[in-house]
């Protein structure tokens, strides 16, 4: 049997059984932005029975980065002794009154890099400047930032700094679940994050909140299988954390990457766009590496931060509304001219709805 035929039969099996197992309407949240994109690309929303609704969660790192962080980065960019090194996505994220893209166009030295190691190399090549890497992302990208900070120390590179917005996804889920307004019946857990963390940090979803959760991969069949496993739990009245991505995610995760993060970062309260301040959800550079922390090493004066009151990104990230319910969607807010962070990144929910259509 050719692969496509096997895949079709497997998809049919999952869809038929999801339909049989789910008796009344349920909402499952995909926590990860990469899942959101895969779900849209493969048309899974339309394939699932109407009683199964998939909503997107706070798993797009660019989307959850608040104006406060962008304003700080922009203020640093205006310092003529500073080079900002950033992933390209961050350029268009609106701050309170401007963006990195606009200040770059006005002459600020903002460079696009593809990894923190690129930023470190930039620092080596520009010894007269202070290079600040915008460290945005979850447990997937934080180990590489930690390794780069350690490399900077080992190589005695003194003009490399990090502005950390790294975050712990499990703490965001904890905050989300403690909000009584959140109506979600189960979670597709982020496969990439769990590769690093393992399953244990998400056990609270089942133990404390009695919600089923399944670690999911990123192919269409991976996602359908995870939804099927959620459906089985819902049908049986169970709540446990299961792993549908065992070919990649080990129960204990990646201990070496965990040790790297623990060596360089400490837990701190962090601001999440839409979710507000969440205790212990941020990764701040710890005392041992304090000289690489931009905030502690380079003074900065930024504007008073305010969120755009018309942007409903926060409610989108909590799964409370769909992007089409935002009055700016497609009218004022587009990927070319985003009014909010959820429209900027390809993993942003508003971006996905714009690009792939509204689905259900
Ligand atoms: Fe914010 Fe734009 Fe999404 Fe509306 S469509 S919630 S303005 S990002």
Q: Is the pLDDT of residue 91 over 80?
A: yes
The answer to whether residues 59 and 30 touch, using CB atoms and an 8 Å cutoff, is: yes
Q: How confident is the model at residue 275 (pLDDT cuts 50, 70, 90)?
A: confident
Domains of the chain, residue spans: 22-61+170-243
Angle at CA 158, nearest 5°, toward 74 and 109?
30
Q: What is the per-residue pLDDT across 168-184, written as a single tens digit (0 to 9) for each? A: 999 999 999 999 888 89
CB contact set of 256 (below 8 Å; sequence gap of 6+): none
Domain 22-61+170-243 class?
Answer: alpha beta
Query: Hey, whose CA ends up nearest to atom 8 of ligand 1?
Result: 340
What average pLDDT does range 295-323 have in this prediction? 92
Pocket lining for ligand 1, CB < 6 angstroms: 311-313, 316, 323, 326, 328-329, 333, 339-340, 342-343, 350
How many angstroms is it from 305 CA to the middle of ligand 1? 18
Cα-to-centroid distance, 323 and ligand 1 (Å)? 7
Banded model confidence at residue 319, pLDDT cuts 50, 70, 90: confident
Closest ligand 1 atom, residue 343 Cα: 8
- Which atom from ligand 1 is nearest to the alpha carbon of 340? 8
Provide the pLDDT for residue 273: 86
> Per residue in 198-253, pLDDT tens?
999 999 999 999 999 999 999 999 999 999 999 999 999 999 999 999 999 999 99
Best residue for ligand 1 mutational test, from 70, 340, 348, 353 (most atoms within 8 Å of Cβ): 340
pLDDT tens digits for 111-151? 999 999 999 999 999 999 999 999 999 999 999 999 999 99
- Please name the residue whose Cα sits nearest to atom 5 of ligand 1: 329
Task: Report which protein residue has its CA nearest ligand 1's atom 7.
Answer: 311
Q: List, for residues 24-57, the tens digit of each pLDDT value.
A: 999 999 999 899 999 999 999 989 999 999 999 9
Cα of 340 to ligand 1 centre, how many Å? 5
Provide the pLDDT for residue 10.
93
Cα–Cα dist 92/343, whole Å: 10
pLDDT given at position 171:
96
């Amino acid at each position: 049997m050719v692969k496509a035929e096997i895949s079709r039969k497997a998809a049919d099996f999952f869809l038929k059984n999801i339909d049989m197992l789910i008796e009344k309407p349920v909402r499952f949240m995909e926590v990860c932005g990469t899942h959101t994109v895969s779900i849209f690309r493969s048309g899974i929303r339309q394939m699932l029975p109407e009683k199964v609704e998939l909503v997107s969660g706070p798993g797009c790192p660019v989307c959850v980065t608040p104006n406060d962080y962008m304003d700080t980065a922009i203020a640093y960019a205006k310092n003529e002794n500073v080079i900002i090194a950033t992933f390209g996505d961050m350029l268009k994220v609106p701050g309170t009154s401007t963006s990195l893209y606009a200040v770059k166009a006005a002459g600020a030295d903002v460079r696009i890099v593809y990894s923190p190691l690129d930023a470190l190399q930039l620092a080596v090549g520009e010894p007269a400047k202070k290079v600040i890497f915008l460290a945005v992302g979850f447990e997937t990208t934080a180990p590489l930032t930690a390794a780069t900070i350690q490399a900077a120390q080992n190589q005695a590179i003194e003009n490399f700094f990090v502005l950390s917005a790294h975050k712990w996804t499990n703490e965001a889920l904890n905050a989300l679940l403690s909000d009584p307004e959140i109506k979600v019946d189960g979670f597709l857990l982020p496969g990439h994050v769990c590769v690093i963390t393992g399953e244990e940090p998400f056990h609270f979803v089942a133990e404390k909140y009695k919600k089923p959760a399944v670690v999911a991969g990123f192919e269409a069949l991976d996602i359908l299988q995870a939804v099927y496993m959620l459906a089985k739990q819902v049908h049986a009245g169970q709540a446990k954390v299961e792993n549908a991505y065992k070919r990649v995610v080990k129960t204990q995760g990646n201990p070496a990457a965990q040790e790297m993060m623990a060596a360089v970062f400490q837990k701190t309260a962090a601001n999440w766009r839409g979710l507000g301040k969440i205790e212990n959800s941020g990764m701040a550079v710890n005392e041992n590496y304090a000289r690489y922390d931009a905030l502690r090493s380079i003074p900065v004066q930024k504007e008073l931060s305010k969120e755009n009151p018309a942007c409903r990104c926060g409610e989108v990230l909590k799964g409370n509304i769909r992007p089409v319910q935002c009055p700016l969607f497609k009218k004022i807010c587009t990927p070319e001219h985003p009014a909010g962070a959820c429209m900027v990144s390809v993993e942003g929910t508003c971006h996905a709805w714009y690009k792939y259509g509204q689905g259900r």
